[in-house]
Chains A and B, each alone.
Chain A
Amino acid sequence: MLGNSVSWEKGVGDVIISVSHVSKTFKLYPSHQVRLKEALHPFRKRYHEEFSALHDISFEIRKGECVGIVGRNGAGKSTLLQLIVGVLTPTSGSIRVGGTISALLELGAGFNPDLTGRENVVLANTIQGAGAKEIAERVSLVESFADIGFFFDQPMKTYSSGMYARVSFAHAINVAPDVLIVDEILGVGDAKFQDKCHNRIRAMREAGVCILFVSHSTEILQRNCDNALLVEGGKLIIHDHTDAVIAAYQDLLYGSGHARKSEIAPTVSDQNRAGTISKSDQVISADLHEFINGSERSSYRTRNYYNKNERRFGNGYAEIVDFIIAVDGQLHFGAISGNEALSIYLKVLFKREILQPQIGWAIVTPEGIKIAGTNTTMCNISIPKAHSGTTFVYEIKILPNLSGGDYFLNLGVGEILGDECCFLDIRRSVIHLNVTDDSKASGFFRIPFECQVVRPENYE
């Protein structure tokens, strides 16, 4: 997988971080005294208990790549970053980094709270071996980027956490690193500063800096990262495109923990059927009638709006076996016009009894940005309980009001359990909506718009 370390350091190939078969086991001690006793024991007697934080992690990151790390609290994300930075050493396996690292591991790490922001930045740069001229340059860059006014010359113990984050981030980016590592601390900055940071991160990426960061914000990850890593229970679950990783992460949080491929083979064929929820008065065509009352066989794959690159997850207690788009009671294929009402019929097969089902949808852009979405819980629409083995068909009726372009539709069935929602079957980007461009609006939405002259009056 890797060349020898010499060619590595010279940067042959563009892999900049290589983690291979890394495991980390922490030693837990009942007290500091016991820790001291073990460390100095002449016969190396063991007093500790072991805790495995990371297990056999391998991945590579290339130059200029921006990689997000997601995972639940305690999954091992920060440990992984600390290993890459070199603050911790792996118990087994090896890590190679072909360049200088600048890391923001913890708010205020490396700064002495008794010193002012300026003094700390000078000290940190001196320790890193910068010359006097270089230091002066960097300090003024940090000062202007952090933009905290006269606080820059106040002791850091008087700072708010946002100010800490500003100075820390400004310092980290101004030491000209090859790799920037950020552990979830930007969240304390205000929106404007965060935006500034993300712009800078993007600029650094374009300049070839490799960026690695932990975030719980799926939006930030989607906006900044090409790829992402999902860490769970000390193991690397997937290393893939950000979208796929986020889907798997959300499955982990809300679903069963097993992201599935979109392969559905209906096994139960109980004929106990319910009608549509929103019973429309309109006449429906024969083929729509056939869809509603027909079998649970999936035929969505044959329809042109089906996106075979959908991402699907959930615990499988219910399955969206089929879906179809209708306009004015007629099955509809092909492009839609943005200002006509759409009905999406969702055929759901329940495999267990679900007391409080929830139906939801969202419209996303091809970049993965959610531009609209809601669900039955948010809108206080009550959905009846579903028995095991029953099939329901739900009609979701929306007026999209979209301007021309490509969009994707997410569909999902969940279950309300107290305050939480458990994902039964979520199908992200399952429908490709091609909205015809009538050149009457730009952006995402058509917003009703009027414009008229009110002065001068009666102007002709």
Chain B
Amino acid sequence: MNSTINPLDKLYRSRKTILALARRDILSKYSGTVFRGAWELANPALTLLVFWFVFSVAFKAKGPAGTPFILYFVTGYAPWLFHFESLTRGTQGIVAHSFLVKKMIFASELLPFVYLTGSAINHGLLLLLVGAILLSNGVSITWHWLQLPYFFLTLCAVLIGLQWLLSALNVFNRDLGQALGIVLNVWFWVTPIVWVADGFVPSEYQWLIQANPVAYVIEGYRGSLLYQQPFWINGWQGLYVWCLALAMALLGGNVFRRLKPHFGDVL
């Protein structure tokens, strides 16, 4: 509506609001618990432990080129968890913030950024853990590690449009939140997180991995952290993912804009 205001400028000016809401969201997630923020790290750490035990110890699985499984898994699981968390929570975002959306002037389109920020904090913590695991397994730091922010931002770009779309629709139909749980579960297993894409997936299904934006990001994390690959190695896929993100943002943004006036009446 207000075309004179640059959306990025608005985003910058709303940074305090976004930070405050993200902080509040993290605090409220663990309100009533004794260990509070510790759960934020304990959760993924325990999951990592279980997967490591099952695949590494029980199945004797190995990553490609003899990489220990735990290293292969952890570099994929960290970005997946960010994706999973921000999407699950972001979909519920407007419903969860109904106290601000109803009878208040509130820029609810900022909510996806709130959840991205909140999840990013967890993601940062988890990456520290990942770094520690990598270093203790003899992986050395290279400049390729600096590519992580690019892949992280790519994932954020995909998630913004998706969150706009899903959070707006979820106001009208809460079934969406339930369905999303199943979709994400399937999504986890079709993404090469615990298994290796090369030589495992028949070539006629390779496109499925190529089309999956999360797979691009996960492979990017691995390439940067484990294999010293520059990010342009998957250039075309990168372009595709960014186009997808843009299309998603246009679609999600448009649906959100059309539904926003109704939020107050439906919540």
Contact = CB atoms under 8 A, between A and B. Distances in A.
Interface string B12-30: 0000110011001000100
A126 B105 contact: no
Contacts of B28: 114-115
Interface stretch (B120-128, B140-148, B256-264): B256-264
B172 A33 contact: yes
A82 B102 CA distance: 11
A40 B173 CA distance: 14
B103 A127 contact: no
Contact of B105 (A87, A113, A114, A123): A87
A39 B103 contact: no
A39 B258 contact: yes
B105 A86 contact: yes
B258 A127 contact: no
A127 B22 CA distance: 12
B259 A110 contact: no
B107 to A, nearest CB: 9
B171 to A, nearest CB: 8
Contacts of A127: 17, 20-21, 100, 106
Contacts of B258: 39-40
B20 A87 contact: no
B265 A110 contact: no
Interface string B232-267: 000000000000000000000001001101101110
Nearest to B96: A112
A85 B105 contact: yes
B31 interface: yes
B102 A109 contact: yes
Contact of A35 (B31, B172, B255): B172
B182 interface: no
A36 interface: yes
Contacts of A35: 172, 262, 265-266
Contact of A32 (B16, B103, B172): B172
A82 B264 CA distance: 12
Interface in B7-64: 16-17, 20-21, 24, 28, 31
A115 B102 CA distance: 17
Nearest to A101: B105
A392 to B, nearest CB: 53
B5 interface: no
A82 B265 CA distance: 13
Contacts of B186: none
Contacts of B65: none
Interface string B57-97: 00000000000000000000000000000000000000000
B92 to A, nearest CB: 14
B24 A109 contact: no
A87 B103 contact: yes
Interface secondary structure of B, over-half rule: helix
Interface string B98-119: 0110111110000000000000
Nearest to B261: A89
B105 A129 contact: no
Nearest to A28: B265
Interface residues of B, number: 25
Between B103, B264, B265, the greatest number of chain A beta carbons within 10 A of the residue's beta carbon is seen for B103
B104 A109 contact: yes
Interface residues of A, number: 26
A11 B261 CA distance: 30
Contact of A113 (B24, B99, B100): B99
A219 interface: no
B24 A82 contact: no
Contacts of B105: 85-87
Contact of A126 (B17, B31, B169): B17
A325 interface: no
A106 interface: yes
A126 B20 contact: yes
A140 B24 CA distance: 20
A36 B259 contact: yes
A105 interface: yes
A241 B102 CA distance: 34
Interface in B121-180: 169, 172-173
Nearest to B20: A126
A86 to B, nearest CB: 5
A249 interface: no
Contact of B17 (A87, A114, A129): A129
B140 to A, nearest CB: 42
Interface in A93-143: 105-106, 108-115, 119, 123, 126-127, 129
Contacts of B173: 32-33, 36
B103 A36 contact: no
Contacts of B262: 35-36, 39
Nearest to A109: B103
Given A35-B172, A35-B262, A36-B172, A110 B255 contact: no
A87 B255 contact: no
A105 B259 contact: no
A85 B261 CA distance: 15
Contacts of A108: 99
Contacts of B255: 40
B19 to A, nearest CB: 8
Contacts of B259: 36, 39-40
A164 to B, nearest CB: 12
A89 B105 CA distance: 11
Nearest to B31: A114
Interface string B174-196: 00000000000000000000000
Sort A-B residue pairs by CB-CB distance and give the 10 closest, nearest first: A126-B20, A109-B103, A36-B172, A112-B99, A110-B104, A127-B17, A39-B258, A105-B103, A32-B172, A32-B266
Given A33-B172, A86-B105, A113-B99, 19 more contacts: A35-B262, A35-B266, A39-B258, A39-B262, A82-B103, A89-B261, A108-B99, A109-B103, A110-B100, A110-B104, A112-B100, A114-B28, A114-B31, A115-B24, A115-B28, A123-B21, A127-B17, A127-B20, A127-B100
19 contacts: A32-B266, A40-B255, A40-B259, A87-B104, A87-B105, A89-B261, A109-B102, A109-B103, A109-B104, A110-B100, A112-B99, A114-B28, A114-B31, A123-B20, A123-B21, A126-B16, A127-B20, A127-B106, A129-B17
Interface of B: 16-17, 20-21, 24, 28, 31, 99-100, 102-106, 169, 172-173, 255, 258-259, 261-262, 264-266
Interface of A: 32-33, 35-36, 39-40, 82, 85-87, 89, 105-106, 108-115, 119, 123, 126-127, 129
